[in-house]
Structure 1
Amino acid sequence: MSAQISLRLATQDDLATILSFIKGLAEYEKLSDQVVADEEKLRETLFGSKAYAEVVIAEYLQQAAGFALFFHNYSTFLAKPGIYLEDLFVLPAFRGKGLGKLLLSYLAKLAVERNCGRLEWSVLDWNQPAIDFYQSQGAQLLHDWRINRLTGQQLVALAQQYPTS
């Protein structure tokens, strides 16, 4: 690791930085209108009594330059936990300096240390620079799989179909 680059686990003091990275990623992905996260929601879900995800901050010359937000999932086929990378983002001014690769390799190392069976994530089909980067790191693009998602009113509607006693 270069003396200019360092990684560290995020703390509650990083909430504004994490939120700014989330907004930066959303802007890059043309999804800014979908961001409802705020510092209080992040505090509760990342640092509250039940932490649902973890965050690693990448710094370049001691300046926050990128982040990775991840959580554990589980593979029934492998009977092992995995790590799911929800977000990986490096500020445009810091791209090309190796931060993305360092964040991804850190998560791979963490997965191995935690006896995980895999590290996985999603990438938008139009984001060819990210696809190329991930494949250059050995990632396999799974063409046969499609993400399914329920949010908002659809999630509530399905939940209301569960019978109550």
Structure 2
Amino acid sequence: MARVNIREAKEADAKKIFELMQQQATEQNTFLPSHFTHEVLADGTWGPTAVVMAFVAESKASQVGELDGYILAHRAYAPWFGRALYIKDLYVVPAARRSGVATHLCRELMRAAVSMGCNQCDLRLHKENWAAMDLFEKLGAENVTVSEDWHIFNLDFKLMEMKSKYGGRGRLQIRLAVPEDMAGVMTMIQELADYENMSDAPQINAHTLVTDSPPQGTFFECFVAESDGALVGYAMFYPTFSHRGFGMCLEDFYVKPAHRGQGLGTAFMAQIAQHGVKLGGSHFEFVVLSWNTPTIAFYKNKGATDLTVDKGVQLYRFDDTAMRKCASAITH
């Protein structure tokens, strides 16, 4: 590893990272979407609207600008634990494999995540990608699709009716949350935890939500539904980024029992989709526990695909302890 330098990516690296993405796609007998270019990558990774962080492995023996690998991740949020990170891509050129490059890219990313105050890091792997599964398991990640039965879903914005409206009772407004709403959102997060028989799971509070969302923070945004002056639902989301370009992750949503079955969930999703389109996004991502059949039915009714069942995609997770252990490992 002495011949390889791991550093945070610069905007000038975008074209080379994109070339490595193309190389990876060729190896996997697939292709990048036609709309995905190195300019799109640069827009997502640097500048005032950046949602991505990246690290690269630069070989000291190679020509200037040549890279041995990269890792891409974006900010995420866990409503019970707070700040999180989501690894979206990791690639090492064939000549540099089995030399520790991938491990050190992961550890450098974990160090950055810990320094940002993240408490969780997720990633997705195909169940037949044994090399990657072995790598991340050795680094401390747990396959929570196996242990907890989480499933990953995907839904294209174009499959949704963007102008869906709520048809419930009372004077109701869906709007972006402001700091003053976060106490009410925290109450509903706790109600959802109670519903899922995990009452002790939430480890954050309203103050955490305020500091991690606009205007103070950039880890998530939130829509709230207000009926006659009272909050009756929320939808927490954040932008995602991968070779498909921008998307939106619907991390969490909840509607109080008295307002269910009246279209509020659909209206939340439509609002987030419109928000994503303005960003240049094209799709939703979300994860659901397999026992939550009402939510799964709701998503499938909208046209969502279960990537875990249909494509063999597994969800892996570094918890806080695993993240810190990986980040603190001694580099030789």
Once the 2 structures are TM-superposed, how far is the Cα of residue 37 of structure 1 from its aligned partner? Answer: 0.9
Q: 2:217 aligns with which of 50, 54, 59?
A: 50
Pick aligned residue for 1:147 from 304, 315, 318: 315
C-alpha contact 2:210 2:216 (8 A) present in aligned 1: no
SS in structure 1 of the partner of residue 248 of structure 2:
strand
Contact 1:4 1:60 in 2 (8 A): yes
Label 1:115 to 1:96 Cα distance change in 2 as closer, same or farther (>3 A). same
Structure 2 residue 280 is matched with structure 1 residue 115: yes
Q: Name structure 2 gaps, 5 residues minimum.
A: 1-164
Q: Displacement of 1:162 after TM fit?
A: 5.7
Aligned counterpart for 1:36 among listed residues 203, 220, 224: 203
Which structure has the larger Rg over C-alpha atoms?
2
Which of 172, 177, 180 aligns to 1:10? It is 177
For the pair 1:128 / 2:296, whether they are aligned, the reply is no
Give the equivalent residue in structure 2 for 1:19. 186
Q: In the aligned structure 2, how far is the partner of 1:65 from the partner of 1:49?
A: 24
CA RMSD after TM alignment: 1.8
- More strand as a share of residues: 2
**Rounded Cα–Cα distance in structure 2 between residues aligned with 1:101 and 1:4:** 18
- Structure with more relative contact order (C-alpha pairs < 8 Å, separation 6 or more): 2
Indicate whether 1:88 and 2:256 are aligned: no
Superposed displacement of residue 27, structure 1: 1.5
Q: CA deviation at 1:98?
A: 1.2
- The Cα shift of 1:161 comes to 1.6
Aligned residue for 1:159? 327
Normalised TM-score (structure 1): 0.89
- Return the letter of the residue paired with 2:260: R
Contact 2:182 2:209 in 1 (8 A): yes
Unaligned runs of 5+ in 1: none
Decide whether the 8 Å contact of 1:81 with 1:117 is kept in 2: yes
| Residue number among 227, 245, 262 corresponding to 1:60 in the alignment | 227
1:75/1:117 contact within 8 Å kept? no
**CA apart distance, 1:112:** 2.0
The alpha carbon displacement at 1:163 in A equals 2.6
C-alpha contact 1:59 1:65 (8 A) present in aligned 2: yes
Contact residue 193 and residue 199 of structure 2 kept, 8 A: yes
Residue 69 of structure 1, aligned match among 236, 255, 280: 236
Is the contact between residue 249 and residue 284 of structure 2 (CA under 8 Å) also seen in structure 1? yes
Instruction: Decide whether the 8 Å contact of 1:5 with 1:99 is kept in 2.
Output: no
Partners of 2:253 and 2:330 lie apart in 1 by 35
> Which SS does the other structure have where 1:57 is aligned?
strand
Of residues 71, 81, 106 in structure 1, which corresponds to 2:271? 106
Residues of 2 paired with 1:110 and 1:159: CA distance?
34
- Distance in 2 (CA, whole Å) between partners of 1:155 and 1:25 is 26
Counterparts of 1:146 and 1:62, CA distance in 2: 41
Separation of aligned partners in 2, 1:73 and 1:105:
17
CA drift at 1:83:
0.7
Cα distance in 1 between the residues matched to 2:260 and 2:210: 27
> TM-score, with normalisation over the residues of structure 2?
0.46
**Residues 56 and 146 of structure 1: CA distance in aligned 2, closer, same or farther (over 3 Å):** same
Offset, 1:100 = 0.8
State the 1:49 CA deviation. Answer: 3.6
Q: In structure 1, what is the Cα distance between the partners aligned to 2:282 and 2:261?
A: 29
Q: Among the aligned pairs, what percent are the same residue?
A: 30
